[in-house]
Amino acid sequence: MKLSQRMLKAGWNIIPGRDGTYTVHASHARQCTFSPATGHWSVPLERIEKALAADLANMASHAHAPMVTASRLTALDHSRRSSQPLRYLCDKGLVKGRTVLHLGTGRECMARKDLLAAGARDVADYDPNFYPDREVLKRTYDVIIASYVLNVLPPEDRGEAYRCIEGCLQPEGTAYLTVQGVWPVEHKYKIIGRHEDGYLIQTGYNTTFRKGYAPAMFVDELRRTLGGTPKVLKMFYSNTLASWTKDDR
C-alpha cells in the first residue's frame, strides 16, 4: 500500500496547496508538507513512517477511543473556507462579544480567524484528534459550536458529547449544533448496514458511523437529552442547525 493510502487509512488528511505542495494533517495536531518539485518532506520521512505505523496499530487494536477515530475519518475539509453553519453564526452576529468553544473543530482551519473577525471575545478549539488539549474543556463558555459532530457518533459517544456541551456551557449560554440530514446519509454513501440508531458506511479504506436527522428528530433528541426548548435555527439543504440555551427549562 502506498504511503498516501496508508495515511488516508489512518485518518490523516492530505490537502493540496496552490503552490503544488501537499500538506498532511496527522494526529495530535501534527502536520508536514511534501514538495513534488524537490521530492522532500518538511520532516524526516522516518519520523512520518513511525507515527503512521503507531496510529495504524492503535486503530487495528482499538486502542483509540471511538471519538478519536471518528474525528480522524469524518472530518470535512474546510481548509480554505469555513463551513456554512459557522459562517451563518458569524454573519448573524451570534458570537459577537462572547467566548466560544468550537467543539469538534476537525479541519476547520479558517474557523478561529472568522470567529474572532466576527467579534468573538475568545475562541477555544477542541477536537480529540486535531486539537486534543482537554484543558479547554475545564472552562465554561457563552457559546458552543459543534458542526456535523453529533451525527458521526454512535449513541454512547454522542451521550458523552452532550454531557460535554452541557458541562462547558455557561448558564444562559447557547449551543449551536448542526447535523446531517437523512437524505445525504442514505443516498450519498456506501452503506454497509444498520448499526444502533444509524448506519455503518464505507469511508475510503475505513468503516465509520453515520446518522441522518430529520429536523423534528434532532430537536426531539436535544429536548430528551438536554431538556429545555431547542429550536431549528437554519436549514442548509437537508442539514439542520439547531440552538439550545442552557437553563432554558
What's the CATH code of the domain at 196? 3.40.50.150
Q: How many CA atoms lie within 13 A of 106 on its CB side?
A: 26
Of 29-33, 52-56, 155-159, 221-225, minimum mean pLDDT range: 29-33
Last residue in a domain, options 64, 94, 114? 64
Assess whether pLDDT exceeds 80 at residue 239.
yes
DSSP calls for 93-151:
TSSTT-EEEEET-TB-TTHHHHHHHTT-SEEEEEBTTTB--GGGGGS-EEEEEEES-GG
pLDDT at 205: 59
Place of cell 503552490: 19
Q: Classify residue 78: in a domain, yes or no.
A: no
Are 137 and 35 in the same domain? no
Check if the beta carbon of residue 143 is closer than 8 Å to that of residue 207: no
User: The C-alpha cell of 39 is what?
Assistant: 521530492
Are 125 and 225 in the same domain? yes
What is the spatial distance between Cα 249 and Cα 242, in angstroms, rounded to a whole number?
A: 16
Range of the domain at 165: 84-245
What's the average model confidence in pLDDT over 70-83? 57
Q: Classify residue 79: in a domain, yes or no.
A: no
Check if the beta carbon of residue 60 is closer than 8 Å to that of residue 67: no
Number of domains in the chain: 2
Are 150 and 204 in the same domain? yes
At 214, is the pLDDT very low, low, confident or very high (cuts 50, 70, 90)?
Answer: very high
At 108, is the pLDDT very low, low, confident or very high (cuts 50, 70, 90)?
Answer: low
Q: Classify residue 233: in a domain, yes or no.
A: yes
Are 168 and 216 in the same domain? yes
User: The C-alpha cell of 123 is what?
Assistant: 475562541
At 78, is the pLDDT very low, low, confident or very high (cuts 50, 70, 90)?
Answer: very low
Cβ atoms < 10 Å from Cβ of 97: 9
At 80, is the pLDDT very low, low, confident or very high (cuts 50, 70, 90)?
Answer: low
Are 49 and 89 in the same domain? no
For the entire predicted model, the pTM comes to: 0.74
Are 29 and 112 in the same domain? no
pLDDT at 41: 96
pLDDT at 76: 52
What's the average model confidence in pLDDT over 18-26? 86
Are 170 and 234 in the same domain? yes
- Mean pLDDT score of the chain, rounded to an integer? 87
